[in-house]
A and B are shown apart, each in its own frame.
With several copies, the nearest count.
Chain A
Amino acid sequence: MTDTLRTPRAPREHGLDGPALLDAYRTMRTIRDFEERLHEEFATGDIPGFVHLYAGEEASATGVCAHLDDGRDVIASTHRGHGHCIAKHVDVKSMMAEIYGRTTGACHGKGGSMHIADLSKGMLGANGIVGGGPPLICGAALAAKVRGDGGVGVAFFGDGGSNQGTTLESLNLASVWQLPAVFVAENNGYAEATSAEWSVGGGSIAARAAAFGMPGVSVDGFDFFAVHEAAGAAIDRARAGGGPTLIEVRLTRYYGHFEGDQQKYRADEVRHARAELDCVKRFRQQVAGTLADAQLDAIDAQVARLIDEAVSEARAAPLPTGADLETDVYISYL
């Protein structure tokens, strides 16, 4: 897991121009700030429910979603979904408001952190069920295939989720149906407090691809460019009718399983990752020759402002009322 380089190496030919790099940086920075701020806000006691932070894993969502269209491409996410939402262009303020349970939230306050979705952006939802997303993504990919619109479906799941039967079945179905689908296993080493080294029989998630007849690769998730390259190849192949791919992204979560978990069981590991491997820092080093520090600092400032506004607007937004309780269960009923 931590076999990655300590010194930044130059990304291979990535074909990304300045605006694309700035975009990627903005996405990663937005995710990071969103999560760090949530960590603080959660401590105030004002955020209800369960919150699972994505900080540390930014390069994965960003590197994958950089290849996706809002319109024809769909992703499904997990309980740890904020990063995927932001990378798929869900409005950040609507996300924050959702987490605070407000009517201005992406889901009118009915979903919360674990169920943020925006179908108009091809974001089929965070998911409270481990392994809930992969079957749905088979369907999104099937719809794209039936329509022939070149769209792809991408399912994110964790190392823990890679042991769920629903996920394993979906790999097989995608292979059998030759779907335009990509399965991204974010292996952060733990499912709650259970280590992936123990729970993933055979030790490699990527190697499971072969069992279902699809290519599998394992990439360094601290390196945006590594993720970007692997995802690009898989998504291009899917669009071209070449079928599904499984990508294992090796990375680390900076916070506990959920807010409230002290994670004493891995304090050293987190310290090391933050200091030596951090994907945002590394990205800045990797693009040092291409982008000016000032450009990146300007984004930092813009993002900081956005997150500030998101929090203060969420806090000020109205809560839903009794009139909202029984609406939207059905489109039509009685």
Chain B
Amino acid sequence: MARSISYREALNEALAQEMERDPSVIVMGEDNAGGAGAPGESDAWGGVLGVTKGLHPRFPGRVLDTPISESAFIGAAIGAATRGLRPVAELMFIDFMGVCFDQIFNQAAKFRYMFGGKAVTPVVIRAMYGAGLRAAAQHSQAMYPAFTAVPGLKVVLPSSPYEAKGLMIQAIRDDDPVIFCEHKAMYDVVGEVPAESYTIPFGEAGIVREGEDVTVVALGRMVSVASDAAAELAASGVDCEVIDPRTTSPLDAGTILESVARTGRLVVVDEASPRCGMAADIAALVAREEFGALRAPIGAVTPPHTPVPFSPALEDLYMPDAGRVVAAVKSAVDWKP
């Protein structure tokens, strides 16, 4: 697998390969077909993210533009899924969930349970999340904890181009509704990606780095931040195990607990707001299930409880960085009862 492509290209390739393989896969979203209805607009954009570029001419009638009506078209993707299609709908910024959350958490997520096990809703909702592009408070959030909390949804956070492709193909083939969270600062990140189709199963964490002293669980873009910190810590003799859960729902509790059972220390690195977020969720899991192994307080590296600030000077302080991870790991290692 010598070939390297970007996170954006990996997603585009996953979509194209699945559309090729399965005629029930359709794609929709604002400008996903590149603007519609006016001359010369076909494929002008491939979504604002460029992820769907090139699909419209290749799969006529299966890549749809939408009006700016997220409730209607996300709901339509869900409704179509109940009728045998496998729609991949782009919400664009995950921050826009506020205008269509009902269709996701009260409809798609609950059909199977409410209807006594008789509904199948294989919809994928793609959305970009995260800070770092100076996009300010309404375009930079990491809202996945709100989705993770909802029984019936699966939530995916790919941390590299390789993960992006394999998890997207899994998401499309999965029969449950999936929220697929792409980090907006990673679209141009390049990495090795097999050309052929492959899947990465949900609920299986990746062990990014093995280590014996401290377990560091990091999500999405924070995986590379944690890896940088681990490299720095290795130089000063602290051996971190870095775990990427890949999906927050289902969460691979086994891998995390087994690691903490060995290391006795846990630091969670997450880009979501600190309250009721993934850092809390994973800390609680470990404090409940692996308390006996713990030798230090559970560290959390998250942004503060504030909206995402615009000014680069503030946003850089807002985002967790390797320095803060190093400090948290060190304080776990140095902790004395």
Q: How far is the CA of A324 from the CA of B310 in the complex (A)?
A: 12
User: Which of A102, A124, A147 contacts B79, CB < 8 Å?
Assistant: A124
B106-A129 in contact (CB<8A): yes
Q: Given the interface contacts A101-B312, A135-B71, does A265 sit within 8 Å of B41 by beta carbon?
A: yes
Contacts of A135 in B (CB 8 A): 71-76, 78-79, 103
Contacts of A160 in B (CB 8 A): 67-68
- Name B153's closest neighbour in chain A (CB-CB): A330
Contacts of B209 in A (CB 8 A): none
Distance to closest chain A CB from B317 (angstroms): 5
Contacts of A177 in B (CB 8 A): 64
User: Which of B36, B73, B176 contacts A330, CB < 8 Å?
Assistant: B176
User: Which of A128, A131, A132, A321 contacts B313, CB < 8 Å?
Assistant: A321
Q: Flag whether B45 is at the interface (Cβ < 8 A).
A: yes
Contacts of A101 in B (CB 8 A): 134, 310-314
User: Which of A110, A190, A197 contacts B314, CB < 8 Å?
Assistant: A110
Q: Flag whether B120 is at the interface (Cβ < 8 A).
A: yes
Contacts of B154 in A (CB 8 A): 330
What string of 1s and 0s marks CB contacts (under 8 Å) between A41-58 and chain B?
A: 000000011100000000
Contacts of B309 in A (CB 8 A): 109-110, 320, 324-325
User: Which of A50, A139, A266, A328 contacts B82, CB < 8 Å?
Assistant: A139
Contacts of B38 in A (CB 8 A): 195, 197-198, 265-266
Q: Flag whether B119 is at the interface (Cβ < 8 A).
A: yes
B44-A129 in contact (CB<8A): no
Q: Flag whether B95 is at the interface (Cβ < 8 A).
A: yes
User: Which of A147, A166, A173, A333 contacts B67, CB < 8 Å?
Assistant: A173
A161-B68 in contact (CB<8A): yes
- Name A100's closest neighbour in chain B (CB-CB): B311
B45-A193 in contact (CB<8A): yes
Interface residues in A106-137 by Cβ distance below 8 A to B read: 106-112, 114-115, 117-120, 124-125, 127-132, 134-137
Distance to closest chain B CB from A2 (angstroms): 13
What string of 1s and 0s marks CB contacts (under 8 Å) between B111-139 and chain A?
A: 11111111110000000000001111111
Q: Flag whether B151 is at the interface (Cβ < 8 A).
A: yes
Q: Flag whether A144 is at the interface (Cβ < 8 A).
A: yes
Q: Flag whether B213 is at the interface (Cβ < 8 A).
A: no
What string of 1s and 0s marks CB contacts (under 8 Å) between B2-35 and chain A?
A: 0000000000000000000000001000110011
How many chain A residues touch B (Cβ–Cβ < 8 Å)?
Answer: 83
B310-A112 in contact (CB<8A): yes
Q: Flag whether A74 is at the interface (Cβ < 8 A).
A: yes
Chain B interface extent, by class: 35 or more
A117-B134 in contact (CB<8A): no
Q: How far is the CA of A147 from the CA of B77 in the complex (A)?
A: 15
A194-B35 in contact (CB<8A): yes
Which of B189-197, B215-223, B224-232, B299-307 lies at the binding interface? B299-307
A194-B65 in contact (CB<8A): yes
B134-A193 in contact (CB<8A): no
Q: Flag whether B248 is at the interface (Cβ < 8 A).
A: no
Q: Flag whether A275 is at the interface (Cβ < 8 A).
A: no
B310-A111 in contact (CB<8A): yes
A49-B82 in contact (CB<8A): no
Q: Flag whether B144 is at the interface (Cβ < 8 A).
A: no
Q: Given the interface contacts A110-B116, A110-B310, A331-B112, does A197 sit within 8 Å of B134 by beta carbon?
A: no
Q: Flag whether B199 is at the interface (Cβ < 8 A).
A: no
Distance to closest chain A CB from B305 (angstroms): 7
Q: How far is the CA of A134 from the CA of B72 in the complex (A)?
A: 8
Q: Given the interface contacts A164-B68, A194-B35, A265-B41, does A132 sit within 8 Å of B76 by beta carbon?
A: no
Contacts of B98 in A (CB 8 A): 129
Q: Flag whether B330 is at the interface (Cβ < 8 A).
A: no
B72-A107 in contact (CB<8A): no
Q: Flag whether B96 is at the interface (Cβ < 8 A).
A: yes
User: Which of A110, A117, A164, A326 contacts B304, CB < 8 Å?
Assistant: A326
Q: Given the interface contacts A146-B85, A164-B69, A193-B44, does A331 sit within 8 Å of B80 by beta carbon?
A: no
Q: Flag whether A153 is at the interface (Cβ < 8 A).
A: yes
Q: Flag whether A199 is at the interface (Cβ < 8 A).
A: yes
A166-B310 in contact (CB<8A): no
Q: Given the interface contacts A111-B137, A173-B66, A330-B176, does A48 sit within 8 Å of B312 by beta carbon?
A: yes
B48-A166 in contact (CB<8A): no
Q: How far is the CA of A107 from the CA of B110 in the complex (A)?
A: 12
Q: Flag whether B162 is at the interface (Cβ < 8 A).
A: no
What string of 1s and 0s marks CB contacts (under 8 Å) between A285-316 and chain B?
A: 00000000000000000000000000000000
Distance to closest chain B CB from A255 (angstroms): 15
Q: Given the interface contacts A108-B117, A119-B118, A324-B314, does A166 sit within 8 Å of B138 by beta carbon?
A: no
User: Which of B69, B106, B306 contacts A173, CB < 8 Å?
Assistant: B69
Distance to closest chain A CB from B40 (angstroms): 5
User: Which of A111, A136, A191 contacts B116, CB < 8 Å?
Assistant: A111
Q: How far is the CA of A324 from the CA of B307 in the complex (A)?
A: 12
Q: How far is the CA of A264 from the CA of B312 in the complex (A)?
A: 30
Distance to closest chain B CB from A330 (angstroms): 5
A-B contact pairs, 9 of them (CB 8 A): A107-B310, A110-B113, A110-B307, A110-B310, A111-B114, A135-B78, A138-B76, A265-B38, A326-B305
- Residues of B near any A CB (own CB < 8 A): 26, 30-31, 34-38, 40-41, 44-45, 48, 61-62, 64-85, 87, 95-96, 98-99, 102-103, 106-107, 111-120, 133-139, 151-152, 154, 174-176, 203, 250, 252, 304-307, 309-314, 317-318
Contacts A101-B311, A195-B35 aside, 12 further interface pairs with beta carbons under 8 A come to A50-B134, A114-B135, A139-B76, A142-B80, A160-B67, A170-B72, A173-B72, A194-B36, A320-B314, A325-B306, A326-B304, A334-B252
